[in-house]
Amino acid sequence: QPIAAHDRRAYDQAVNHRRLTVIQALARQHNASINDVVLAYVLSQSFPTVAVIGPKNPEQLHRSLSALTVALSAVELAALENA
C-alpha cells in the first residue's frame, strides 16, 4: 500500500534521513537489523515506553525479540537524538 502524501510529508524530513544514517551505522556496529536498533532505542528511554511490534507469525516475533540483545550506549543514544 502506497504511503499517503500527508504521511510522506510528515516523515520525509532531513532529520529523519540523518537519523536513518546513524541507525544504519549502529546496526552494522551491533551486527543487528535496523528494526533491532529502533526497538532498542524505544526500550532504552528513561520514561515508561511500550514497543508495539505486531508480528504476523512466530518468525517475525523472534526477529523483533532479538532487539532485546542490543544495548545502546549513552553515546549511541545521544547520536540518535542529536542527528
**DSSP sequence for 42-74:** HHT-SS--------SSHHHHHHHHGGGG----H
Q: How many CB atoms lie within 10 A of CB 77?
A: 16
Task: Please determine, for residue 1, whether its predicted confidence score (pLDDT) is greater than 70.
Answer: no
The answer to whether residues 34 and 26 touch, using CB atoms and an 8 Å cutoff, is no
Q: Is the pLDDT of residue 2 over 80?
A: no
Could you tell me the pTM of the whole model?
0.84
pLDDT, tens digit, 9 for 90 and up, residues 20-74:
999 999 999 999 999 999 999 999 999 999 889 999 999 999 999 999 999 999 9
User: What's the angle, vertex CA 40, arms to CA 38 and CA 42, rounded to 5?
Assistant: 70
Burial class (CB in 10 A: 0-12, 13-18, 19+), 38: buried
